[in-house]
Amino acid sequence: MPANYSSYIVSVSRSKPRVLLEDLGMTGYQEAWDYQMLRHRELIDSKRAARDDQDYRPRHRLLLCEHPPVYTLGRSGKLDHLLLTEDELTAQGMTFHKINRGGDITYHGPGQLVVYPILDLEDYYRDVHRYVRELEEVVIRVARDYDVRGTRIEDYTGVWVEGAFRQKICAIGVHLSRWVSLHGLALNVDPDLSHFDHIIPCGIQEDDKAVSSLAALSRLDITMSDVKEKLVRHFAEVFDCDVIAE
């Protein structure tokens, strides 16, 4: 059963969209996907049923979790960007899923905060590009809290840190159906970065680009619980919403 953490609650008002927060903890990828789909379908169905209800307010959700080690391949990805055979995946305790988000291949695992917003964007704006940029902005603000200067790179979705190498700390991939969002972002807090060696992350092969994490780039102490609280606060700021426990 998903857990709610009242310590993450930001504020409550009558005018802003309300987003119900759920922290799923360490959750298998398929289990989290099934739960996303359940909540996604509920939101679409309730929107259809309330088409003429002037008082209808969408039940947006923000799901937080970590996954056991898994590689996922988006719609536009190439299977040969996975550098392990099926037997090697099994031997290393990895799983692999083809999914319907945008983007190429990425890794999820312990020490990485995965965030799945299930939002009816018609309650915000009909603009997928803006939605992705605002997800990036949330992570840029979290990174700033740890004295890490996150930024965007033209033509590359996600959040990066400039230096001798451009280091990616957050991957983003989304899918929308009837303007209701699925998938989201994966922020590297302190994962085992060696697992990225078994893929071509996001299909990016340039020598000046690499994968990193907040823990590797910050001199400050970082805990997953603290990152979660900061991310929820900045999500509420950027999306101008109230994040509440159900």
CB 184 within 8 A of CB 112: no
Cα→Cα distances 118→37, 76, 92, 193, Å? 9, 22, 32, 28
Is 202 designated active site? yes
Instruction: Say how far apart CA 130 and CA 139 lie, in whole Å.
Output: 14
Task: Count Cα neighbours of 18 within 13 Å in the Cβ-side half-sphere.
Answer: 14
Q: Is 199 left (phi over 0), alpha (psi -120 to 50) or beta?
A: beta
CB 105 within 8 A of CB 74: yes
Instruction: Say how far apart CA 204 and CA 210 lie, in whole Å.
Output: 9
Q: Fill in the amino acid letter for 68.
A: P
Q: Which one from 65, 170, 202, 241 is the annotated catalytic residue? A: 202
CB 54 within 8 A of CB 77: no
The catalytic site residues sit at 202
